[in-house]
């Protein structure tokens, strides 16, 4: 587990927290604070890929951190010539399970002259240490309040078109994107009511709240080949303690045939 805290010099402190099987907690000495991150920079943290995480701000301060080795790498500014690019969303992934080539994907809204209010995309390859522009999604706009998720060489995020909610899939090898409509059977119309997770090595979505009129939580899994969704788990929430029914809920992991739920 990786922990973060603000230091007194407006730096961001990063440390490791190890939890053993018997519940014993071991805290490692913290790294030196990341001075480049100020208190008001509004930093964001990407989902991990093979233990690597990305810390970044809308001012394009981007750090790649490996908590296992306590190493940190500052990445070059994607747009050194300036330009407004906010909001932004960055994720890290690997091209495929056999290839150790890592890439970062950066989605952002451009307000440059002639490109006002359009979604753009850039890709950073760690081996070449360079950013480059790639074709952005054409039929939808990225939703920036949920992190990118990596699975088998593809980066996933929520997106929206004029008519419906979508899931955007960006292939790290071909550097192209495609979108999938989110099943209307899930029963939500806004992204703040949805959560995306990897469960049992499959991309899943589900409602983030307990519906008092329907106490069965359905977890939907994506079938990439069929471009469709199917119910992977149906969980009866009526047996949960009352406090679970009054707050957001989130399945976070699967162990054998059990689903671990957190609130």
Q: Evaluate if residue 49 carries a pLDDT over 80.
A: yes
- Mean pLDDT value of segment 8-27: 51
Q: Which of 80-89, 173-182, 244-253 has the lowest mean pLDDT?
A: 244-253
Q: Evaluate if residue 32 carries a pLDDT over 70.
A: no
pLDDT tier at 100, thresholds 50, 70, 90: confident
Q: Work out the mean pLDDT of the chain and round it to a whole number.
A: 78
pLDDT on residue 15:
55
HEC string of the chain?
Answer: CEEEEECCCCCEEEEEEEECCCCCEEECCCCCCECCCCCCCCCEECCCECCEEEEECCCCCEEEEECCCCEEEECCCCCCCCCCEEEEEEEEEECCCCCCCEEEEEEEEECCCCCCCEEEEEEEECCCCEEEEECCCCCCEECCCCCCEEECCEEEEEEECCCCEEEEEEECCCCEEEEEECCHHHCCCCHHHEEEEECCCCEEEEECCCECCECEEEEEEEECCCCEEEEEEEEEHHHCCHHHHHCCCEEEEEECCEEEEEC
The top-scoring range by mean pLDDT among 28-32, 70-74, 153-157 is: 153-157
- Mean pLDDT value of segment 73-92: 83
Tell me the percentage of the chain whose pLDDT exceeds 90.
Answer: 23
The top-scoring range by mean pLDDT among 156-160, 162-166, 252-256 is: 156-160
Residue 95 Cα distances to 41, 73, 143, 144, 240, angstroms: 30, 20, 23, 23, 40
Q: What is the pLDDT of residues 226-251, one digit of tens each?
A: 888 999 888 887 777 776 666 677 76
pLDDT on residue 38:
53
């Amino acid at each position: 587990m990786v922990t973060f805290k603000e230091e007194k010099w407006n730096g961001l402190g990063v440390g490791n927290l190890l939890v053993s099987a018997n519940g014993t907690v071991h805290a490692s000495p913290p790294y030196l604070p990341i001075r480049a991150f100020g208190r008001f920079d509004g930093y964001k943290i990407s989902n991990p890929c093979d233990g690597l995480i990305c810390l970044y701000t809308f001012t394009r301060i981007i750090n790649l951190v490996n908590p296992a080795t306590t190493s940190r790498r500052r990445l070059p500014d994607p747009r050194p010539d300036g330009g407004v690019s906010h909001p932004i969303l960055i994720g890290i992934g690997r091209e495929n399970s056999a290839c150790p080539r890592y890439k970062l994907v950066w989605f952002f809204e451009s307000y440059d002259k002639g490109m006002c209010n359009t979604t753009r995309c850039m890709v950073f390859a760690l081996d070449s240490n360079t950013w480059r522009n790639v074709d952005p999604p054409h039929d939808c706009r990225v939703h920036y309040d949920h992190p990118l998720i990596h699975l088998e060489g593809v980066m996933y995020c929520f997106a929206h078109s004029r008519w419906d909610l979508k899931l955007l899939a960006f292939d790290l090898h071909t550097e192209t994107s495609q979108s999938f409509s989110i099943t209307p059977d899930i029963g939500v119309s806004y992204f703040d009511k949805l959560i995306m997770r990897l469960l049992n090595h499959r991309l899943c979505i589900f409602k983030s709240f307990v519906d008092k009129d329907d106490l069965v939580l359905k977890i939907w899994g994506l079938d990439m080949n069929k471009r469709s969704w199917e119910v992977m788990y149906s969980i009866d929430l009526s047996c949960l303690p009352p406090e679970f029914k009054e707050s957001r809920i989130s399945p976070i992991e699967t162990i054998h045939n059990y689903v671990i739920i957190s609130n």
